[in-house]
Chains A and B, each alone.
Chain A
Amino acid sequence: MEALVANNVTKRYTNHLALDQVSLTIPSQTIFGLLGPNGAGKTTLIRIINQIINADSGEISIFGERLQDKHIGSIGYLPEERGLYKKLKVGDQLIYLAQLKGLSRKDAVEKSKAWVRKFEITDWWNKKVEDLSKGMAQKVQFISTVMHEPKLIILDEPFSGFDPVNAQLITERILELRDNGSTIIFSTHRMETVESLCDHIALINKSKKILEGSKKQVKEQFRSNTYVVEHANNHFKLPADRYEVVRQRELQDNHFETLVRAKEGVKGNQLIRELVDLTEVHRFEEKLPTMADIFISLVKGEGDEALRKHLLEA
């Protein structure tokens, strides 16, 4: 079943259109990357899912049901702009936030204690948030987001403010949550995180969704039939009717890297076969665009051909 389906969601503010007929499908138990430049409409969409604001038109369903009040408890939200009550103690804070999500007091106390143990921060329980460092407060905030065991977790730039060690810790928790059945919506600008963590992505630009699919599908969609070949000498000539040498450079002592683009209908295997007869091949790899490449070219609004060109030059 799909964790979330958005259907033609539109939201207009007084002066601009924040979301224009956005439709999305988020498969359950995946990490879904919601990408887009600043001001594209991601936060608006996230706020609509959290029922902080309402869409003007369109529908959102969550685990097969129309989004409504009762789903508040099944969503965990970590906003980009973090914040906790500064004067409140960590323990009281976690219990309060969990209770607001609908947990009974008893459950809230139990769960928050368990999570605090899990993060090995039991000695913070009676500390006020204002006495914690930024990273410490972030951990508390992360706990408050996931402690009521929501089926849908929305994380907006979750790694900002974490050092690499803690970022690793959070990454592990996120993967663990997914493996335990949660679906995670991940809004970020950090393409390396998208590359390593996300299963699915959607790209929103200027209020419109312009790309959606699994990471593999998306990359397939933007493959350009281009291969990177490392080889020993450069005295070879590929048949020009099937191949085009985009670029060649010397790495060291008669070692070269050549970027070869195969024409329509020519498979990679065929290229290898032909190369083996011509030169000494050290490495052969299909050049796939990175998420960053795709993001930048799409947001810049380049057409397919220009995009391919851009990807090749990258």
Chain B
Amino acid sequence: MNKVLLIIQREFLNRVQKKSFLLTTILVPLIFPAIIGVLVYIMIKEEQSAKAETVQVVDESGAFTFENTRRLNFLVLSTNLEQAKKAYPLSDDLALLYIPKFDLKNPQGFQLFTKENLSIERSSELERVIEDRIHDLKLQEYNIDKEVLKSLKTDIDLKQFNITDTGEEKSSNSGLLYGVGFVLGIMIYIFILVYGIQIMQGVIDEKTSKVVEVIVSSVKPFQLMLGKIVGIASVGLLQFIIWIVLVSSLSFGMLTYFGIKMPQQQMVEQVTKQMDDPEVKQAMEAQNSKARSFLAEASQLNLTKIALVFVFYFLGGYLLYGALFAAVGSAVDSIQESQQFQLPLTLPLLIGYMGLFLFILRDPHSPASFWLSIIPLTSPVAMVGRIGFDVPGWQLALSMALLIGGFLLTTWIAGRIYRVGILMTGAKVNYKVMAKWFLMRG
């Protein structure tokens, strides 16, 4: 046991002391806030520097009145289209808008002349201006009061509650659950794949550098395999914790620096600034209560339970696949050679990952979702994606028990292949050979 600890320690230090570890551990969390920061910065700069641009208008219908917006000024010309078309290219103005006489029932023939293509934002803004005006004209035509129309619109927020067996009611938010399941599922998938391949690489390195024969004359092959798997897991956990701490603190710092407030706060402020209209106030109130209930639902999510389940499947899935990756590493002489054996390992993982989107997040209680979250090969990704949606206790217990059983089984199988494989160089390996190794006596 003492020797396994030594190996864990060595594997851990080997990786943590590498410059590349320091680099990825620090750079990856810097990249995300940096991207957010740069984007936000550019957005703000653009907002600030954007000055309104002029759109010339030739209005033959005479039905339009234009209000300048923040980004667009309208200049109504009194000339006809031909003249305007000649004069426009000489001006610095953004575009020339032509409004013909049109039939209100079937408005056609609006034209826009520009020197260069307008951004989709600009052209749709212009379209909106025209549409709004025609909308108003139609209301007038049909004698509909604007206020009446507004009062027809209602905003319904369907509040969801789960009723448990004991009759207890819990509000739930499927959007939130979707997000949680999505992020956690992907995190487990990536973690297992990245660190599984690291284990395999480590085993191949030991085998090709021939150091393994010396090592197994001091420790049992199984101890070596176990030490490597656990050592790399501890590197992964450390890296993961550093990332979470760095990403959250840096993102927060970045947002604070640019004076951006949390979305709801921003929204509230905007609304208050705009008008003191009672109607808007009402809307604001509604928004506020929505935000409040969102937060309430978030806090109702059993975060401790989710975190614990996540850590369990994180480690369980890693151990299950880690052992198999070690076995593959022991059987081959190079990473290229390992490709053919990697597919059967990545396939069930990929099925879990696809199942997350196809079944679990859509219908967390369908039979497919159930089986995906029970079978140990897919359950790490699937169950973590599903856990927010109130998985029955017996299913969770069954899935966990099977995962423990699963990784004990894969570790045992992998150990038997590993002990023979690491000493076989230059052998031509296929599944039949591996099966032979598995059956071989010690």
Task: Mark A residues whose CB is within 8 Å of B.
Answer: 13-14, 47, 50-54, 56, 72, 75, 77, 79, 81-88, 96-97, 99-102, 141, 144
Closest Cβ of chain A: how far from B416's Cβ, in Å? 13
A99 touches B6 (CB 8 A): yes
A100 touches B213 (CB 8 A): no
User: CA–CA, A50 to B423, complex, Å?
Assistant: 13
Interface stretch of the complex, out of B192-200, B204-212, B311-319, B324-332: B204-212
Closest Cβ of chain A: how far from B128's Cβ, in Å? 62
**Residues on the B chain within 8 Å of A83, using CB:** 209-214
A52 touches B211 (CB 8 A): no
CB-defined A-B contacts under 8 Å, sample of 22:
A52-B213, A52-B216, A52-B217, A52-B423, A53-B442, A72-B217, A75-B217, A77-B214, A79-B210, A79-B214, A81-B210, A81-B213, A82-B210, A83-B209, A83-B214, A84-B209, A84-B211, A85-B206, A85-B211, A96-B6, A100-B218, A141-B214
Which residues B1-22 have CB closer than 8 A to chain A? 3, 6-7, 10, 14, 18
Contact flags B208-239 to A (C-beta < 8 A → 1, else 0): 01111111111101000000000000000000
| CB < 8 Å neighbour of B215 from A56, A75, A100, A102 | A100
| CB < 8 Å neighbour of A88 from B3, B14, B216, B218 | B14
**Residues on the B chain within 8 Å of A144, using CB:** 214
| CB < 8 Å neighbour of B217 from A77, A82, A87 | A77
Closest Cβ of chain A: how far from B398's Cβ, in Å? 38
User: CA–CA, A75 to B212, complex, Å?
Assistant: 16
With an 8 Å Cβ cutoff, the count of chain B residues facing the other chain is 26
A100 touches B14 (CB 8 A): no
A72 touches B218 (CB 8 A): yes
A54 touches B442 (CB 8 A): yes
Q: What number of A-B contacts does a CB cutoff of 8 Å give? A: 63
User: CA–CA, A123 to B400, complex, Å?
Assistant: 53
**Residues on the A chain within 8 Å of B217, using CB:** 50-52, 72, 75, 77, 79
Majority secondary structure, B binding face: helix
User: CA–CA, A51 to B216, complex, Å?
Assistant: 8
User: CA–CA, A13 to B215, complex, Å?
Assistant: 23
**Residues on the B chain within 8 Å of A75, using CB:** 217
**Residues on the B chain within 8 Å of A53, using CB:** 442
**Residues on the A chain within 8 Å of B206, using CB:** 85
**Residues on the A chain within 8 Å of B210, using CB:** 79, 81-83
A100 touches B3 (CB 8 A): yes
B216 touches A100 (CB 8 A): no
Flag whether B440 is at the interface (Cβ < 8 A). Answer: yes
**Residues on the A chain within 8 Å of B425, using CB:** 81
| CB < 8 Å neighbour of A85 from B3, B209, B221, B423 | B209
Closest Cβ of chain A: how far from B199's Cβ, in Å? 16
**Residues on the B chain within 8 Å of A54, using CB:** 441-442
Flag whether B135 is at the interface (Cβ < 8 A). Answer: no
Flag whether B436 is at the interface (Cβ < 8 A). Answer: yes
**Residues on the A chain within 8 Å of B215, using CB:** 97, 100
Closest Cβ of chain B: how far from A117's Cβ, in Å? 22
In this complex, which of B10, B14, B211, B425 has the most chain A Cβ atoms within 10 angstroms of its Cβ? B211
Known: A83-B209, A144-B214. 5 other contacts (CB 8 A): A81-B213, A83-B212, A97-B214, A99-B6, A100-B215
B436 touches A14 (CB 8 A): yes
When C-beta atoms are compared, the residue in chain A nearest to B18 turns out to be A87
User: CA–CA, A99 to B14, complex, Å?
Assistant: 16
A96 touches B10 (CB 8 A): yes
When C-beta atoms are compared, the residue in chain A nearest to B440 turns out to be A14
**Residues on the A chain within 8 Å of B18, using CB:** 87
**Residues on the A chain within 8 Å of B3, using CB:** 100
User: CA–CA, A47 to B215, complex, Å?
Assistant: 12
When C-beta atoms are compared, the residue in chain A nearest to B219 turns out to be A100
User: CA–CA, A56 to B7, complex, Å?
Assistant: 29
In this complex, which of B205, B218, B423, B425 has the most chain A Cβ atoms within 10 angstroms of its Cβ? B218
When C-beta atoms are compared, the residue in chain B nearest to A73 turns out to be B218
A97 touches B218 (CB 8 A): yes
User: CA–CA, A50 to B215, complex, Å?
Assistant: 11
User: CA–CA, A53 to B442, complex, Å?
Assistant: 6
**Residues on the A chain within 8 Å of B212, using CB:** 83
**Residues on the A chain within 8 Å of B216, using CB:** 52
**Residues on the B chain within 8 Å of A88, using CB:** 14
B214 touches A56 (CB 8 A): no
**Residues on the A chain within 8 Å of B6, using CB:** 96, 99-100
Closest Cβ of chain B: how far from A126's Cβ, in Å? 13
B441 touches A56 (CB 8 A): yes
User: CA–CA, A5 to B216, complex, Å?
Assistant: 22
**Residues on the B chain within 8 Å of A100, using CB:** 3, 6-7, 215, 218-219
User: CA–CA, A14 to B440, complex, Å?
Assistant: 8
User: CA–CA, A51 to B217, complex, Å?
Assistant: 7
